[in-house]
Chain A
Amino acid sequence: MNTKAITLAASVSLTAALIAGACTTAMVAPDHHARALEIIKRDFKPRGQAGLDRLDADPVQAICNRTDNTPPVSIAHQMQNEQLATVAYPADGVLMGDWKKGEKLAQSGKGFTWKDKPGLPVGGNCYNCHQISPKELSFGTIGPSLFQIGKIRGNTPEMQKYVYGKIYNSKAFNLCSEMPRFGHIGALDSDQIKDLVALLLDPESPVNK
């Protein structure tokens, strides 16, 4: 067993211990939660690209499920750091791509359903939940408005790094965020995330006009 594997094993067992600890203080009714899990395991069938493995909660999903999305702060911080460690920043340090490509990607909500063709590329799904460019009127409100985000919060290297990281793995900053972990799950690659960072932060992007 090499050092990396040992670290990984330690991290997994720590996470498991934290989840077990959290469960004893969880607010949910244990019987119905356990029953729900049994039913979920039994009452689905694979279809298209959507296999039954998708029903298994990973450690982040598991603790959010067990605590109604409000894990104890110490656990949340520990696990957010583990998620942050998964963010792969581009080797050359360039974090902003082409905002026009980013806009196109933000528009698409395709991908990952049992009807979709398996594989990449998939859409960024951004407008499903966020207001972004003022030209797009059909936007969702599950997430906050991102209109003028670059104008308001600037586009410093730190800000670019934050936005890149947030799109790559939202759980690194808010463990039970409703936002998918686009880079972490391999839905979006580095260049695509860079294009989205540009859409949000580039002074030339309509978002910041």
Chain B
Amino acid sequence: MKNTISIGIALMLGVLPPLTFAQEKDATEAEFEKFRTEMEDSNPAELFEMKGEDIWNEKRGPKNVSLAESCDLGKGVGVVKGAYAAMPRYFADAGAVMDAERRIVWCMVEKQGFNFDDIAKKPFQGRNDTSAPDITNLVTYVAMHSKGMPFAVPLDDPKVKDAYLTGKEITKYRAGPYDFSCNTCHGVDGKRIRMQNLPNISTAAGAIKGVQGWPGYRMTGGIMLTHQWRINDCFRQQRFPEPRYASEVITDILTYMTGNANGQIYNGPGIKR
């Protein structure tokens, strides 16, 4: 309270020292952290997870099979435990490195017979949508079953390592009207856009900040969003055209980021501002 008043006075006088800004920022952060802690006792992500579990187990699609009886996320058919934290990884049946969302989409198409374009038409929950797409619920369900586990992207697999190194190159690529690359914002420590802290995804400490909390329940709007969505929106802000849904460009970036976070504990689907 005292801080708020002094900030108010400083604002009126227009003589604000940088310290006061830091204090106000810390107060805002603390307030949000408190709220997040309270929320995590009854994490809204659980509602999406429960829906995802039902969808995972239900016989669906033209082939009328469930993902539980057909989809291998790298730990064996139907096994979800630990799968999210160990992706992206290489899948021999698809001949590609895939992140969790891309792999689940692959299973929906190849095993259940869904049409890719139908899934890709609107893959993310919009601000005014009352429910999340099936794929978001599924990713949330799968992710919940890696809660408390360390990230373990298999970088010793040469194909995964290739994706990692390609992802690293993609993060450097500057283009577009503003000359931005991923690294313009996420390549060095301690930077902000406005009040927003920017994780440096090239470091272990920054990478974990970048991957933690996805998929995340966004309090503004009350919607559930995946890490694929986050990368999509980064490219929007980079003033690039839109990355194709569940494409390699996203997987490679996620391989790079998540690989840099290896060994650190994943806290499960989170809450985002």
Contact = CB atoms under 8 A, between A and B. Distances in A.
A158 interface: no
Interface in A36-78: 36-37, 39-40, 42-47, 50-52, 54-57, 60-61, 64-65, 68
Interface string A11-34: 000000000000000001100110
Contact of B192 (A39, A64, A140, A178): A140
A44 B249 contact: yes
13 contacts: A29-B165, A32-B168, A33-B169, A37-B173, A40-B170, A40-B249, A43-B244, A45-B244, A55-B241, A57-B174, A57-B175, A142-B192, A185-B178
A153 interface: no
A187 B177 CA distance: 9
Interface residues of B, number: 49
B242 A39 contact: no
B249 A39 contact: yes
A142 to B, nearest CB: 5
A52 B241 contact: yes
A86 interface: no
Most buried by A among B14, B177, B244: B177
Given A45-B242, A61-B175, A142-B191, A135 B14 contact: yes
Interface residues of B, dominant DSSP: mixed
Interface residues of A, number: 52
B239 A54 contact: yes
Given A141-B191, A141-B192, A142-B193, A209 B14 contact: yes
A173 interface: no
A127 interface: yes
Contacts of A5: none
Interface of A: 28-29, 32-33, 35-37, 39-40, 42-47, 50-52, 54-57, 60-61, 64-65, 68, 112-115, 125, 127-129, 131, 134-135, 137-142, 171, 178, 180-181, 185, 187, 206, 209
B185 interface: yes
Contact of A65 (B24, B165, B173): B173
Interface string B175-194: 11111110011000011111
Nearest to B18: A131
B190 A181 contact: no
Contacts of A35: 162, 166, 169
